[in-house]
């Protein structure tokens, strides 16, 4: 623990709300709470926004807003465990916690539960995409927001049929789609070289540059009066009865009336400080940025069979993929990273730099049922949770912040809180 002036400085901190985690979720909660007139401190053990929210694919796509637990995913995961280059991987372990997590994951992936879980997530993402579109008017700097749609390329008929079934489901939720043939794909995106069985275009989807978004969001939060304490690790909590009194951090105690846990994939570990047993697991993914090439895509592209995400930034091309259920291991598996690039090259023309780009790794925060938990902790009356946003944290962050602030301020909630209720889950 650090001694000296910094510790004294942190000891003096007290706010109405203290938030653990300055990712997309923690910062959006902070913005909504400060707008509601609360004094807010956000605590992060690193720099603001540098967790999973930093190098993700940057998609703001309600069309891809399903819970992680889906019919058939567990079976696919088992099959892909044997393939070192597969896009979905479960690190084998004898851990009883992992076995229990997988059991709950399999149960949550029933068609009935999946169909029930999808509309609330789509609603959060749809609302949030509009919020991100409005954000540049208030944000201090540009973050590359563009609403040019998402083009889902399907190499196999099976993938196209599955994609169309999902598109039919989400269309009544306000997510329109179009069916495109090969000619239309080539005409619109000359960078596409691989053959497809067909494509589905979602015109309302958007994308951004996630690292720039995090910088703009942190700056915006500060400009509204949010205090962000960086390099300050939460190591414990002072809990009395059913209330939290203070966070114990590497720079001293931080007192508050209410506390929010928004520590992404690390929320299970931090939750222990509050006496909670949160079944959180990190699902690792990678992204790489290539220089802009001659045939730069004009919109986001999803290589559906290969589970590879393409985001055309203004000066670079971001390629992201893989989902490895690993806990909190952030090491880079070169074989999997190479598989992402190889898969992308089979379908697209893009730059071949002399030295390969540095891969970024991040952990998607996953609860076994694949649904975010947003609301009051079942055990502690002044602890609130905003965790478990799996593959959808950036695209649903503004709505998450709004819903959490509604609940904390006892306002009529902007969204039905029931599907996200932590009760019985955390």
Ligand X SMILES: Cc1cc2nc3c(=O)[nH]c(=O)nc-3n(C[C@H](O)[C@H](O)[C@H](O)COP(=O)(O)OP(=O)(O)OC[C@H]3O[C@@H](n4cnc5c(N)ncnc54)[C@H](O)[C@@H]3O)c2cc1C
Q: Which of 122, 212, 215, 234 binds ligand X (CB under 6 A)?
A: 234
Continuous H helices in 135-179: 157-170
* DSSP states of 38-83: --EEEE-SSSTT-SHHHHS--EE-GGG---S--TTHHHHHHHHTT-
Q: Is 336 in the site for ligand X (CB under 6 A)?
A: no
Give whichever of 70 and 197 is closer to ligand X, judged by the CB atom: 70
Q: Is 24 in the site for ligand X (CB under 6 A)?
A: yes
Give whichever of 59 and 180 is closer to ligand X, judged by the CB atom: 59
Q: Is 218 in the site for ligand X (CB under 6 A)?
A: no
Q: Is 405 in the site for ligand X (CB under 6 A)?
A: no
Q: How far is the CB of 338 from ligand X (least distance, A)?
A: 15
- Structure token digits, residue 92: 């084998």
Give whichever of 1 and 193 is closer to ligand X, judged by the CB atom: 1
Q: Is 46 in the site for ligand X (CB under 6 A)?
A: yes
Q: Is 29 in the site for ligand X (CB under 6 A)?
A: no
Give the DSSP H or E segment for 115. Answer: helix 111-134
Q: Is 389 in the site for ligand X (CB under 6 A)?
A: yes
Give whichever of 42 and 197 is closer to ligand X, judged by the CB atom: 42
Q: Is 62 in the site for ligand X (CB under 6 A)?
A: no
Radius of gyration of the chain from its Cα atoms, rounded to whole angstroms:
21
Q: Is 264 in the site for ligand X (CB under 6 A)?
A: yes
Q: How far is the CB of 182 from ligand X (least distance, A)?
A: 26
Q: How far is the CB of 363 from ligand X (least distance, A)?
A: 6
- Structure token digits, residue 14: 């007290």
Q: Is 364 in the site for ligand X (CB under 6 A)?
A: yes
Give whichever of 56 and 196 is closer to ligand X, judged by the CB atom: 56
Give whichever of 45 and 220 is closer to ligand X, judged by the CB atom: 45
Q: What length does the chain have?
A: 426
Binding string, residues 304-333; x marks residues near ligand X by CB under 6 A: ----------------x-------------
CA angle 129, 49, 9 (to 5 degrees): 135
Give whichever of 58 and 149 is closer to ligand X, judged by the CB atom: 58
- Rounded Cα gap, residues 26 and 48, in angstroms: 10
Q: How far is the CB of 79 from ligand X (least distance, A)?
A: 21
Query: Which residue's structure tokens are 């947003």?
Result: 374
Q: b/e string for 373-403 if b means 16 or more Cβ within 10 A?
A: bbbbbbebebbbbbbbbbbbbbbbbbbbbbb
Q: Is 122 in the site for ligand X (CB under 6 A)?
A: no
Q: Is 307 left (phi over 0), alpha (psi -120 to 50) or beta?
A: left
Q: Is 26 in the site for ligand X (CB under 6 A)?
A: yes
Q: How far is the CB of 366 from ligand X (least distance, A)?
A: 9
158-to-196, 197, 305, 356 alpha-carbon distances in Å: 11, 9, 9, 33
Burial environment of residue 138 by CB neighbours within 10 A (0 to 12, 13 to 18, 19 or more)? exposed
The closest of 177, 218, 214 to 198, measured between CA atoms, is 177
Give whichever of 18 and 200 is closer to ligand X, judged by the CB atom: 18
Residues making contact with ligand X (CB under 6 A): 20-26, 43-46, 50-53, 56-59, 233-234, 262-266, 270, 285-287, 320, 362, 364-365, 389-395
């Amino acid at each position: 623990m650090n001694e000296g002036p910094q510790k004294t400085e942190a000891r003096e901190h007290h706010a109405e709300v203290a938030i653990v985690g300055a990712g997309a979720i923690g910062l959006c909660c902070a913005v909504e709470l400060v707008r509601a007139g609360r004094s807010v401190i956000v605590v992060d053990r690193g720099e603001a926004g540098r967790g999973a929210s930093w190098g993700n694919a940057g998609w703001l796509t309600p069309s891809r807003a399903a819970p992680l637990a889906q019919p058939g995913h567990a079976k696919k995961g088992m099959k892909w465990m044997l393939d070192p280059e597969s896009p979905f991987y479960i690190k084998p372990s004898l851990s009883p916690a992992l076995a229990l997590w997988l059991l709950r994951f399999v149960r949550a992936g029933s068609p009935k539960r999946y169909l029930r879980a999808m509309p609330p997530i789509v609603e959060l993402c749809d609302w949030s995409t509009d919020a991100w579109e409005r954000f540049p008017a208030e944000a201090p700097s540009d973050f590359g927001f563009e609403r040019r749609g998402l083009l889902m390329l399907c190499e196999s008929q099976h993938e196209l049929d599955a994609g169309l079934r999902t598109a039919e489901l989400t269309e009544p939720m306000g997510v329109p789609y179009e069916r495109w043939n090969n000619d239309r794909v080539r005409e619109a995106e000359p960078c596409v070289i691989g053959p497809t069985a067909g494509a589905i275009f979602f015109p309302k989807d958007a994308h951004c540059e996630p690292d720039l978004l995090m910088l703009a969001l942190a700056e915006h939060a500060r400009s509204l009066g949010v205090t962000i304490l960086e390099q300050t690790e939460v190591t414990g909590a002072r809990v009395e009865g059913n209330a939290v009194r203070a966070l114990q951090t590497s720079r001293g105690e931080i007192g508050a009336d209410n506390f929010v846990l928004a520590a992404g994939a690390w929320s299970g570990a931090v939750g222990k400080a509050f006496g909670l047993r949160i079944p959180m697991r990190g699902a690792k993914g990678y992204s790489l940025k290539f220089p802009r090439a001659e045939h730069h895509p004009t919109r986001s592209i999803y290589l559906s069979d290969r589970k590879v995400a393409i985001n055309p930034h203004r000066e670079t091309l971001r390629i992201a993929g893989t989902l490895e259920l690993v806990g909190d291991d952030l090491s880079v598996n070169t074989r999997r990273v190479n598989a992402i690039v190889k898969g992308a090259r089979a379908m697209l023309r893009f730059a071949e730099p002399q030295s390969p780009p540095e891969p970024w790794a991040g952990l998607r925060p996953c609860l076994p049922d694949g649904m975010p938990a947003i609301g009051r902790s079942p055990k502690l009356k002044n602890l609130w949770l905003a965790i478990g946003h799996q593959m959808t944290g950036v695209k649903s962050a503004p709505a998450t912040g709004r819903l959490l602030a509604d609940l904390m301020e006892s306002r009529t909630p902007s969204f039905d809180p029931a599907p996200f209720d932590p009760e019985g889950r955390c």
